[in-house]
Amino acid sequence: MQKETKKGFHLYTYQKVILSYVITLSICAWVLYPLMHRILNYPPGTVDTPFQVEYGGLSYTAQFVSLYVVVITLFVIYQRFFLFKKIADWERKGSNSKYTIEEVRKTLLTAPTKFYLLQIIIPFIAITIGLGMPIVKHELESSGITVAILWISILTFNATISYVFSKNLFKPILISTFKENRLPIKKHYKLSNDMILLLLPLLVAGLFFTVIVSYYRLVNVRGNDFYEYYKNELNYNFEDNTYYTDSELMAELSHLEYIDNTHSYFIIDSDKNIITSDGVPLTDFFKKYIYELSDQYDGRVYEHYAVNTQGYIKHISNNGEDYIIGVRFPISGEDALVYMITTFVVLFGIISFLVWYYSSSLSSQIKIIVNGLNEINTKNNEEFEKIPIVSNDELGELTVAFNKIQDLTEKNITQIHDNQQILMERERLASLGQLVGGIAHNLKTPIMSISGAAEGLNDLIKEYDSSIDDPEVNSQDHHEIAHDMTVWVEKVKEYSEYMSDVISAVKGQAVAMSEVDNITFDVEELVKRIDILMRHELKNALVYLNISLQVPKNTELHGEINSLVQVINNMISNSIQAYDGKPNQNIDLTIYKENNNLIISIKDYGPGLSDKVKNKLFTEMITTKGKSGTGLGLYMSYSTIKGHFGGDITFETKKGEGTTFYILLPLSK
């Protein structure tokens, strides 16, 4: 999050976006201001003059600045207090903001598009509303529409710049907040739609602007031609200082050679009564221009701002009175406008289709790559499909790079699986190595006992053999010898069973996990194997394992018993090593039931785990045992409980007080 620093003022991101919008619109307005009245062929002498103020109430500059201020104010208010409200609050207050990171990220991703569309839609709505208002309909039909179209073009161009700027300005926040919230935004915009939204309005604005400029340049050229023609006609047919009667004036004007049947003449007498040949009255603007400005511009007259009707007048005498005669000529008819609009619509339709088709093609090609990347997350050892290269541009290079990644990923996954088997085997062999000493110790005692029993039996056999012919040995003596033999045989049997249990436990740990079948076993069998396999290590370390069964011994579990034994033994070994050779310590192994889960807790009273180890315990292969550790113990234990039993492993640790691991195993209902 950006903050104010002690040295200088630091703008927030949303302020930069608003500032970029104001600057770009100001530049556009600065460029448009001196050009608009020229592009639209405003009549000379009517821009920022008393004539314009008297007729319209506001000068050109006042109108332009007012419109600029209104547009800037409305959009800045909307941006600050509505569109960017969440971003502004979050940037200023940080974690104290009432908005979450997810809400801010959603706003950052969608705000540029929303504001872009708003700048396109609102002007069109304003024009539509304006066209439906009778009071302003005439003004819109004359100059308002063209002015509005120019402003729409400028706003659209500015919207595109704002869209690009805001996207780039929001990227740093999106990158920084991604570390705190990696959830994808549920609502996605298609790339093709995004391109269409960006390109088509810009295309429309560009075409509109080009059409208007071209149209009014053509109108200007034709207006000059018509003006020169009728100027020559009137000056040729009506001589100065010549008296004409009303009938002569009308006759002469009727016999002029008009370029088009829409062109008409008019007569204004000394009392300002007006006669028009087509019956259409002269507009107030046209009359005002005749009386106030036409003499300054050699008799040329304009009907309105940006209106394509002009005229030429000549002052003559009629019966000693001053008359004004003239020709009014539309420069461009409705058919030309319809033709241009039709051409524009057809061209726009073709270009729109091409933009849509091309953007969809780009989007589909990118979608193929996205689907391929998703396959990397779902496939294991399957063959990864390659994407065909269909272009020689950046997308083609991206496809080539993707195919290389596919090859490398497939190779790496195969290598990872191979390494995983090697690492698992290494961990299993490391565990077996720790058991070797225990096996020797556990088997030594029963073997020596069996050997002693054999010696005892051998002595009894010799004693019995020598007593067969001894008359002093009675039946009672024979029964005593037989009883002693039975005692030794029972001891041999007991020691043999114990050896069998040790061998079975060790054999189970010696078999690879993938080769062990899922079986049903009870808690008693589990504890028995743990006791047998850990007895030697516990004895050597002078650490006592306190087993507390808070569930019935016949409580059943289903799964790989050898895997579970290895997980628990690994945790007990970690607890032993946590004491770092300190003798006469305790480890508590407690088995209890909670809800429908069997909980196995292993608690030691050692120094606890460091923060570095805690954060990586189940996610990375780390070890605190130095060179003697593989780093696979808890990492593989977590994977085993998750994958083979559908359970979980959690832990609690406190510095100086010890660590407790909890193995959660779901019980079948």
Residue-range domains of the chain with CATH: 13-188 (no CATH), 221-334 (3.30.450), 515-669 (3.30.565.10)
Structure tokens at 86: 């969440």
Phi, psi of 653 (to 5 degrees): -145, 145
- Residue 420, pLDDT score: 60
Quote the CA–CA distance of 434 and 533 in Å, as a whole number: 10
pLDDT confidence tier of residue 33, bands split at 50, 70 and 90: confident
559 pairs with which residues across the strands? 519
Distance CA 473, CA 343 (A): 136
DSSP 8-state code for residue 392: S
- What confidence tens digit (pLDDT) does each residue in 128-177 have? 555 444 433 344 444 556 666 677 777 777 777 777 777 777 777 777 77
From residue 5, how far is each of 2, 11, 304 by CA, in Å?
A: 9, 10, 56
Q: Give the number of other Cβ atoms within 10 Å of residue 149's Cβ.
A: 18
Dist CA 183 CA 561 (whole Å): 38
State the Rg of the chain over Cα. 49
How many other β-carbons are positioned within 10 Å of the β-carbon of residue 480? 11
- Lowest mean pLDDT segment, chosen from 271-275, 311-315, 338-342, 532-536: 338-342
The tens digit of pLDDT for each residue in 609-662 reads: 877 777 666 655 444 444 344 334 576 777 778 877 888 888 898 888 899 999
Looking at 264-273, 382-391, 537-546, which range is the least confident one? 382-391
Supply angle C-alpha 126, 130, 135, rounded to 5: 155
Q: Return the beta strands (E) in 454-575 as ranges.
A: 519-522, 543-549, 556-559
State mean pLDDT over 494-512: 64
Q: How many residues does the chain have?
A: 669
pTM, two decimals, is 0.52
Contact 44, 297 (CB under 8 A): yes
Q: Which two tokens stand for residue 176?
A: 């920084």
Whether the per-residue pLDDT at 181 is higher than 60: the answer is no
How are beta strands 597-604 and 658-666 bridged, if at all? antiparallel
590 vs 503, more confident: 590
Bridge partner residues of 586 (DSSP)? 544
